[in-house]
Amino acid sequence: MNFIRKIVTQSSKGDDKVFYDAMRNLLKFKPYQIENYQKAFTHRSLKKVDKKGEPFNYERLEFVGDAMLGAVIASYLFSKAPNQSEGYLTQMRSKIVSREHLNELGKDLNLISFVKSNIPQNNIGDNIHGNIFEALIGAIYLDRGYAYCNKFIYDKVIVPYVDIPKLEGKITSYKGLIIEWCQKKKKKYDINTYEDTGNEPVKHFSVKISIDDVQIAKGRATSKKKAEEQASKRVYYTFQKQIETS
């Protein structure tokens, strides 16, 4: 116990004081090993290493956080949906921990404000929000164990965001939905994705989707996946009534 108090006292002094206070306010409990949280907000572009010469950034913590988040959500769904199948539980967990949802969580908590990087924030990409959120969960687990990790996820994810009836109707991949519908209805599905940067400094991709040789929608974004989802969403709204009644 004295060892733990020593760590807290050391963490609360000097250059770490502001960060320590910010973490305590965010987490609603006292961090013990503040270096875990510092690592959770360190981007690989800084090329930092720890005392052992190992990379000092959020990526390994992200791996731990992903596992812990999945475990806590799985446990919650198992208890809240006792009559549902494994497939249902897996699908619901995927919706909760989807990259899109994790990015939203990270943005809502403004985690990007703690990130240290050599790259301007607007050039890092949206996934940084979800990656940092998972890294933070990993840091909590390593610092305070499962109980604190479970409570943080419950307070920050489950209580404000998990509504099982709403999630049942949530679409996580418009592209996958359209492909599945076309296969079911024996419709010909074609997607044409190509680079469309033009004079813009940031790379863009454009997408054209055709069904039964008729072009239905276009999409354009900074990644292939985003462009495909954008175009697929427009296809969905074009055929929404037919898809929902099929």
User: Domains of the chain: which residue ranges?
Assistant: 2-164, 174-245
Residues 58 and 139: their CA atoms lie apart, in Å, by: 9
Residue 15: which pLDDT band, with cuts at 50, 70 and 90?
low
Any idea which fold 174-245 has? Double Stranded RNA Binding Domain (3.30.160)
pLDDT at position 14 is: 55
pLDDT at position 13 is: 57
Which residue would you say has higher pLDDT here, 115 or 167? 115
Residues 131 and 148: their CA atoms lie apart, in Å, by: 20
Q: What share of the chain is helix, strand, coil (3-state, %, to 5)?
A: 65, 10, 25
pLDDT at position 6 is: 45
- Residues known to be catalytic: 66, 134
How high is the mean pLDDT of the chain? 89
Q: Is the pLDDT of residue 243 over 90?
A: no
pLDDT at position 3 is: 45
User: 3-state DSSP call for residue 51?
Assistant: coil
Question: Is domain 2-164 annotated with CATH 1.10.1520.10?
Answer: yes
Q: Is the pLDDT of residue 212 over 90?
A: yes
135 within 8 A of 112, measured Cβ to Cβ: no
Residues 18 and 87: their CA atoms lie apart, in Å, by: 45
Task: Give the tens place of pLDDT for each residue, 148-163.
Answer: 999 999 999 999 989 8
Q: Is the pLDDT of residue 110 over 70?
A: yes
Residue 187: which pLDDT band, with cuts at 50, 70 and 90?
very high
Q: pTM value?
A: 0.71
User: 3-state DSSP call for residue 53?
Assistant: coil
| CB environment 177-189: b (16+ within 10 A), e (fewer) | bbeebbeeeeeeb
Q: Is the pLDDT of residue 9 over 70?
A: no
Task: Give the tens place of pLDDT for each residue, 29-40.
Answer: 999 999 999 999
